[in-house]
Each structure stands twice: as C-alpha cells, then as structure tokens.
Amino acid sequence: MSCAVTRVTDGDSVNLTCAGQQVRVRLYCIDAPEMDQGQWGAQSRDYLRQLITPTVTLYTRDTDRYDRVIGEIIAEGRNLNRALVQAGWAAEYPQYCRDRQYRADQAVAKEMGAGIWAVPGPHQRPWEWRRR
C-alpha cells in the first residue's frame, strides 16, 4: 500500500497516512535504540530519516498490542527495515523475527563494527534495556 510519511518517531517507528487514514507503524523484525539511550537513539532515528522518502510502500505483517501496524517499509525499491540493520542502526529483534536474512545482515554489520556495533553496550539490545 502506498503511504505518505508524516513522521519518523525513532529508529523503528514511523507515522504514515495510507488511504486517508493515520497509521502508526512499528518496523517488522528490528529493534532500534530508544531515544533516551543517548546518541544511539538519535543516530538511529536520523539514519532512518535520511533513508525515507515522502512516499513509501507499506507491507503489513501484523498488529501489535498497542494497535500499531507491524510492517516493512519500502522506499525507492529498498527495504528500510533491512537497511537499518545492514547499516548497524538497528538490531534484529530475535523474539519477533523469523526472517533469517535479518540475522545475516546483522552479522555483517557486527563484523564491520557499524553503527550500534561500534561500541558494546545496552544500545545493542534495546529490548533488554527497556526492561530495566
């Protein structure tokens, strides 16, 4: 579905307008550092802002308990979910990801020390950091 981007909230959440409806989207298969995790959250969000285009294609996978669409976003033929993992600005979310390609993308980013993999810390596992 073609949608207009209204806001990039953080590195794994965007707001879209699709067919006249406001849609909150949580990016499928990834978890990015939270905004209050210092520079890591802002850098992840800013990277997504660089990649995203005014109009994107949304592929819905599911809906979460917060009534957000869980989806993959394609901009100019590029899967932005995977692009974030490939660049090291998001981690594969193992609890919710069944697509092996995300794990392979993450392995390459880790090996290169890209983005969140440059320095060890809780920003590499946002799902654990949120539970503290």
Q: pLDDT tens, 43-77?
A: 999 999 999 999 999 999 999 999 999 999 999 99
Residue with tokens 């990649």: 51
pTM score: 0.95
The domain ranges of the chain are 2-124
Please spell the DSSP secondary structure of 79-118, one letter per residue: EHHHHHHHTTSSEE-TTT---HHHHHHHHHHHHHT-GGGG
For 109, what's the count of Cα atoms within 13 Å in the CB-facing half-sphere? 24
Fold of 2-124: OB fold (Dihydrolipoamide Acetyltransferase, E2P) (2.40.50)
